[in-house]
Structure 1
Amino acid sequence: MMTGQLFFPDSLSEQIFTSVAPYNDRRGKRDTSNAADGIARRAGPQSQAALRELEDAYQALMIVAVKPGRAAVTPPPCSRRKLRLGIRLSSN
């Protein structure tokens, strides 16, 4: 099993959080930018998703490299969240 994170450009995140339901229905403003996220800062700009804008969605590309022979590590218990890579934009 591999766990990782994928980061979107702040400009896209801001657009989605302010204009796309259900994200724009959240109370309060977006509280974490890539620059303020320690994991995103350490990962660097190359960890941002390569995006392609489609008519009603964004397509993200993430290339993953795994070094063979690395020992498996059991992750600590934590809450699990599903990652949705496709974000559909709709006027509905």
Structure 2
Amino acid sequence: MPESDRLAIRCEPLAEVATPGRIAVLNLATPAAPPVILEGGAATVWELVDGRRSAREIVAELADLEVTPEEVVATIQGLVDVNLVTWSGPEAAGA
């Protein structure tokens, strides 16, 4: 899984509202898009996406929660697909 060594970086600008166990995120660059509601594990992954951790490091942080590497990468990729996160590194630029 090549994404596992790449950094996950939040897109900007974003608006975020958090309540216990739930986060609503809106990409302000695409205001017509609805906010994305993250709950449970997805909210936890979101909180760890800080532009400094790779997906592999996020998996390690979540080891106690029994989250698989595939689930973490799939969650981050889902955030990429809705324009909330981007992958860093050469593969992200198509190299």
Alignment TM class, shorter chain as reference: under 0.3
Higher helix share: 2
- The normalised TM-score by structure 2 is 0.26
Structure of higher RCO (CA pairs closer than 8 Å, 6+ residues apart): 2
For the pair shown, the structure with the greater C-alpha radius of gyration is 1
